[in-house]
Amino acid sequence: MLRMTGIGKSFLGVRVLDGVDLEASAGEVHAVVGENGAGKSTLMKILAGVHTPDEGTIEIDGRSVAFGHPIEAQRAGVAIIYQELTLLPERTVAENVFLGREPVRRGLVDRAAMESATGELLSSLGEESFGPRDLVRRLSVAQQQVVEIAKALSLNARIVVMDEPTAALADHEVELLYTLVRRLTGRGIAVLYISHRLPEIFELADRITVLKDGARVTTAEASSLDTATLVRLMVGRELDSYYPPRAAEPPGEVMLSVRGGGNARLHGIDLDLRAGEIVGVAGLQGSGRTELAKALFGAEPFTSGEMTPCRPRSVREGIAAGIGLVTEDRKAEGLLLNQHVRDNALLVARAAGTRRPGIERLLERVRLTPPRPTQEVRLLSGGNQQKVVLAKWMTVAPRVLLFDEPTRGVDVGAKAVIHELMRELARDGTAILMISSELPELIGMSDRILVLRDGRIAGELPAGATEEAVMHLAAAS
């Protein structure tokens, strides 16, 4: 159905794609994987008409096409669902689905037709939790994805590109997405699926194409590959183990302790964080994971309970008490995207008024590539951006460092670096709390795991607990 041949593209003289071939047939899920910077996004944007290729051809159903504008790609049946959703929060579901193509009757927009058509699309996707008249801003991220997919279907899309669709979803929502993807392929739609999460890829994909440094490494049947092989193909080397070894010594003194901590979203939180250990936090979306980190940090403080060394009432108090937070959304909450690496890395140190550490040494320590302090942060890959966030906190040497989804949207290579850095920090005596919705990461990294449910700690599991045990605690009613 789709055949892209010899696609090449350069930006400002930098070759980002070099002779890449990709094909997809009707009803197939074709995963495209590779580290950040491998060229996946550029390839998909070429398919969607956002960029024009310097060389190479695109054929759809045997006919050669060239897209100068996203609309032309849409008309040819290509829909792309971006990582950052492209919906208008202040408009209704129906208005979003038909944006730019509103049905008109006697010169006026035919709301009734628009809403009933949207309703039909939603029910064909098995979606009953919201309707065509709901405002998009009141929907969850997962529901918004359904809206995006409905929009793609209303365009009669035959090739649907999904760019990191699960990045912002909780585990139970991921299952719903799988169902949706299978509904799409059941209709004979070809799905191009881009993800960093290898388990998803093996769950869904029929074929896998691996990109590295702008070139295609291979295309293979998913059943002929395993995780280790795939990782080796992506990074070009065997990662002997995914996760760095746990600490050899038992954890040290208690760096932070909470008894009966509570606020509007959290109840009766008891926990101790010790020097040298990494404590994992699991829980479904809405269980209070992020709220816990923000309460410990002072961003959304506890209103009751005891906390030592102190119960921070504000972020400044939290930082003064030696607590740092690597936020879930690094673009919105972690970084000043238009500023240089140096200004970002020194943000906390400057605000706290501590002595400035040597920036070059710091950037080398977090393995920023290249370690240039004068680069604008928005130009860095997700992995490098996260390293800058880490550097920002390392300038003040916090006693306790809280990580909320430390490797979301980060490629495999950078992920390993961040995991190693977390272990190093722990070894140097920092107490670490890590929230992750990626269970393998949680289990691989944590010395013990706290499971949250409805704002309470539902239980604690030792290192090496199974995914089933975690899920059981997180989801039990």
Partner 1 sequence: MTQQLKLRRGGAEGSFLRRLSADRPARAVYVALALLIVLGWLLFALDGGRFLSQENIVGIQQRSAALGIVAVGQTLVILAGSLDLSVAYLISLTSLVAAEIMAGADGGVPAAVAAVLAVSATVGLVNGLIVTRLRVHAFIATLGVALIIRGALDERYDGPAGSVPESFQHLGYDRIGPIPVSALLWAAVAASAWLLLSRTRLGYRIYAVGGDAEVARLSGVRTERVVIAAHVLCSVCAGIAGLLLASRLGAGAPTVGTDGGYDLESIAAVVLGGTALAGGRGGVAGTVGGVLLLAVLDSIFNQLEVNSFAKDVVRGVVLVAALAIYARRRRTT
Residue 195 sits in the site that holds partner 1 (CB under 8 A):
no
Select from 95-103, 216-224, 251-259, 282-290 the region that touches partner 1 (CB under 8 A). 95-103
Select from 88-96, 188-196, 408-416, 422-430 the region that touches partner 1 (CB under 8 A). 88-96
Sequence-separated (6 or more) residues with CB below 8 Å from residue 73: 47, 48, 49, 67, 80
Residue 52 sits in the site that holds partner 1 (CB under 8 A):
no
| Shortest Cβ 152–partner 1 spacing (Å) | 11
Nearest Cα residue to 173 out of 127, 131, 132: 127
Judged by CB under 8 A, the chain residues 134 through 173 that form the site for partner 1 are 135
Alpha carbon distance 43, 24 (integer Å): 14
Strands (E), 298-399: 304-308, 323-326
User: Residues in contact with partner 1, total (CB under 8 A)?
Assistant: 21
Residue 83 sits in the site that holds partner 1 (CB under 8 A):
no
Residue 107 sits in the site that holds partner 1 (CB under 8 A):
yes
Judged by CB under 8 A, the chain residues 13 through 42 that form the site for partner 1 are none
Residue 129 sits in the site that holds partner 1 (CB under 8 A):
no
For partner 1, the closer of residues 99 and 379 by Cβ is 99
Judged by CB under 8 A, the chain residues 426 through 445 that form the site for partner 1 are none
In this structure, are strands 55-60 and 207-212 parallel, antiparallel, or unpaired?
Answer: unpaired
415, two tokens: 């992920």
| Shortest Cβ 106–partner 1 spacing (Å) | 10
Alpha carbon distance 404, 385 (integer Å): 15
Which residue among 95, 173, 300, 405 contacts partner 1 (CB under 8 A)?
95
Cβ proximity of 170 and 285 under 8 Å: yes
Length, in residues, of the chain: 477
Nearest Cα residue to 383 out of 414, 417, 340, 408: 414
Which residue among 6, 21, 57, 71 contacts partner 1 (CB under 8 A)?
71
Residue 66 sits in the site that holds partner 1 (CB under 8 A):
no
Residue 111 sits in the site that holds partner 1 (CB under 8 A):
yes
CA dihedral sign of residues 83, 88, 90, 96: negative
Alpha carbon distance 144, 252 (integer Å): 45
Q: Is 138 exposed, middle or buried (0-12, 13-18, 19+ CB in 10 A)?
A: exposed
Select from 17-25, 93-101, 217-225, 331-339 the region that touches partner 1 (CB under 8 A). 93-101
| Shortest Cβ 69–partner 1 spacing (Å) | 8
18, two tokens: 């070099």
330, two tokens: 């690094």
Select from 69-77, 214-222, 313-321, 325-333 the region that touches partner 1 (CB under 8 A). 69-77
Residue 91 sits in the site that holds partner 1 (CB under 8 A):
yes
Residue 68 sits in the site that holds partner 1 (CB under 8 A):
no
Residue 126 sits in the site that holds partner 1 (CB under 8 A):
no
Which residue among 27, 70, 199, 459 contacts partner 1 (CB under 8 A)?
70
In this structure, are strands 254-262 and 448-453 parallel, antiparallel, or unpaired?
Answer: unpaired
Nearest Cα residue to 395 out of 361, 339, 356, 342: 356
242, two tokens: 């995914």
| Shortest Cβ 73–partner 1 spacing (Å) | 10
Residue 100 sits in the site that holds partner 1 (CB under 8 A):
yes
Nearest Cα residue to 98 out of 87, 82, 84: 87
Alpha carbon distance 422, 442 (integer Å): 13
Residue 343 sits in the site that holds partner 1 (CB under 8 A):
no
Alpha carbon distance 190, 184 (integer Å): 8
Which residue among 104, 336, 351, 476 contacts partner 1 (CB under 8 A)?
104
| Shortest Cβ 109–partner 1 spacing (Å) | 5
Task: Give the SS3 label for residue 188.
Answer: coil
Residue 131 sits in the site that holds partner 1 (CB under 8 A):
no
Residue 87 sits in the site that holds partner 1 (CB under 8 A):
yes
Select from 83-91, 194-202, 311-319, 441-449 the region that touches partner 1 (CB under 8 A). 83-91
Interface positions with partner 1 (CB under 8 A):
50, 70-71, 74, 86-91, 95, 99-102, 104, 107-109, 111, 135
